[in-house]
Amino acid sequence: MLDLLKDMSMVPKGLRYKTMIAFSLSSIIPILVCVWLVITYIFPNINLFFGLSLGSISFILFISIFISLLGLYITKEMIDPIIKMAEDAKIIAKGDVTKSIDINREDEVGDLSKSLNIMTQKIRENMDELKAYSEKTKRINLEINKKVLALSGLLQIGNIISSSKELNIILGFIMQKVSDVENNAVSLLMLMDEGSQDYAAAASCNIEKNKLAGLKLKQAEIAPDILAKKLELKNIISLPVTTAGKPAGALIVGNNEENFIFTDEERELLKVFAKQISIAVENDRLIRKSKELSIKDEVTGLYNYNYMKTRLDEEIKRAIAYQRPCGYLLVDVDDFKIFCAAHGEAKSEALLKDISAILQGSVTETDRLGRLRDDKFMIILPEKNKRQSAHVAEEIRKKIEDGMGRSAGFGKKLTVSIGVSENPIDGSTAEELMEKAERLGRTAKSLGKNRVVV
């Protein structure tokens, strides 16, 4: 019975069929009107022939109107879904691909709505794929930019290392580059003290100084969980810094981002920075070692502290062995810091060279002359006792006072204060003689400068 009703229903019928029905129903009214006009005006007696009364004619008109309304309803049922579908399609065309056409029919309109929904779904899927691809491309671009930034930073680090700048400047620059590459993360370098084996902060970026104050860790404490707690960071990574195959420090990088994990690529990149730090630390160690091995002062050309101390030790041993005296002079330039502030580094170095020349002209070939540090010179006088050493010191004082004169803008003559010590009276080691001469030099300063104290 249901199948029969379904077959009789117009729901499963196509638009062509429904259009024909609607056209037929709509055409009945004009035909009936024509018939009525013919019967009424052309053949008025035909009503009597067919026995049509006014009621019969009214019924026929009612049936005609009903059929007309039925045709109108069928037409409306065809047009409304098309209008709705057109409105929905217009919304979709404006970019709202989440919109779907909700028309459940079994005719061409239903098929068209299903086709449009399928097309919209495919567009939506394609847009999702494009969005995912866009995000992926964005991530790739960020990674490329990060690598380019890292490469640029590494090149700059290489240049600054080769320029022989101070180690703290180089390490601070590396920490800044690490922070830039890792999206302004916290970066910290801790170097190991060779004596205590403790790790202490050497350079950092984006971290409060109060967190680093007094921060010293043992090697076993350079662990992510301990570091994260001490530095108050959620995510942290620690990479070893080695020199000559031995632990020298640790590069620590971290942040407070939620659900963050350091990728393998980021770890490898940070290892490269750790290697650069190792090169910088090792390079600084070699530079310091070469300076220690060098026996000449760079500014004056005199012997340096290490050489002079070693030679003084040797002279004292020889003097003790042969029971002979050995004198030592500490020559301190008066008001040298004031002169530096007034004239600058270049003129200060020139002054030191002039003083060096006077000192060289005041000693013999068996004596040894060197620069202790800054404005201090040291002279070893083998075979000379304190009286003889004091005589040499006084000659030096007078030569400098007379030879240097007044420097432009300084307002007074440049002078020196000299402390004199002797082995074995003032000590039997280099340290003891040097310390005694230092004390006597300070005494000379306190007594008014430009004098020799024994």
- Residue ranges and CATH numbers for the domains of the chain are 10-124 (no CATH), 164-291 (3.30.450.40), 305-453 (3.30.70.270)
Give the CA distances from residue 446 to residues 176, 426, 442, in Å, rounded to whole numbers and listed in that order: 47, 21, 6
Quick one: what percent of the chain has pLDDT higher than 90?
A: 26
Give the CA distances from residue 380 to residues 72, 238, 306, 365, 399, in Å, rounded to whole numbers and listed in that order: 128, 51, 13, 11, 19
Q: Give, to the nearest 10 degrees, the angle between helix 264-293 and helix 167-181.
A: 170
CB 440 within 8 A of CB 454: yes
Q: What is the pTM of this model?
A: 0.47
Q: Tokens in use for 167?
A: 């180690």
Quick one: what percent of the chain has pLDDT higher than 70?
A: 77
Helices (H), 221-335: 224-231, 264-293, 305-322
Sign of CA dihedral 387, 393, 395, 398: negative
Label the pairing between strands 246-255 and 376-382. unpaired
Residuewise pLDDT in 10s, the chain (454 residues)? 445 444 444 445 555 555 666 656 566 666 666 666 556 655 566 555 555 555 665 666 677 667 666 766 767 776 777 777 777 777 777 777 677 776 676 666 667 777 777 777 787 778 778 788 778 877 777 777 767 766 777 777 777 877 778 888 888 888 888 888 777 789 999 999 877 888 988 899 988 888 887 788 888 888 888 888 888 888 989 999 998 888 899 999 999 888 888 888 888 888 888 998 998 998 888 888 777 677 888 888 899 998 899 999 999 999 998 899 999 999 999 989 888 888 888 888 988 999 999 999 999 989 999 999 889 999 999 999 999 999 999 999 999 988 876 554 455 678 999 999 999 899 889 999 999 999 999 999 999 999 999 9
H-run or E-run covering 177: helix 167-181
Rounded (5°) CA angle 54-57-62: 125
The per-residue pLDDT for range 166-198, each reduced to its tens digit, is: 888 888 888 888 888 777 789 999 999 877 888
Phi/psi for 187 (5° steps) reads -130, 135
pLDDT value at position 250?
92
Task: Name the residue with tokens 């409304």.
Answer: 80
Give the CA distances from residue 219 to residues 104, 227, 229, 241, 371, in Å, rounded to whole numbers and listed in that order: 73, 12, 16, 12, 40
pLDDT value at position 7?
47
pLDDT value at position 130?
79
DSSP 436-449: HHHHHHHHHHHTTS
Task: Say how far apart CA 273 and CA 176 lie, in whole Å.
Answer: 11
pLDDT value at position 391?
94
CB 328 within 8 A of CB 380: yes
Task: Say how far apart CA 188 and CA 226 lie, in whole Å.
Answer: 14
pLDDT value at position 261?
86
Residues in the chain: 454
pLDDT value at position 11?
47
